[in-house]
Structure 1
Amino acid sequence: MSTSTLYRLMDQKRFPPPVRIGGRAVAWVESEINEWIAARIEERDNAA
């Protein structure tokens, strides 16, 4: 996923926000990303 897509999804509150870890560095909480992925899988499976 591109950086611009990530930030667009964050602006839309559809992706977990980053945690600032330095002046220009950010990271994401792994458990929040895993939950986000699991939700996408569930959406996919429910659509099928």
Structure 2
Amino acid sequence: MATAGGVSASETPLAFNDAFKLSVGRGSIGQIHLHWQMPPGYYLYRHIVPA
């Protein structure tokens, strides 16, 4: 059975660093690009932002 968070009741959620993989790159002069790759069903701040 899937829950609202995308993880079933029988599964253990992934550790934060595994669920939200960060990559950093260089942009134009003085800029950096941050990119989070998340598996389906995982959301940053889901408990704060209303649906």
| TM-score of the superposed pair, with normalisation by structure 2 | 0.26
Which of structures 1 and 2 has the larger relative contact order (alpha carbons within 8 angstroms, sep 6+)? 2
| TM-score of the superposed pair, with normalisation by structure 1 | 0.27
Give 1 or 2 for the bigger CA radius of gyration.
2
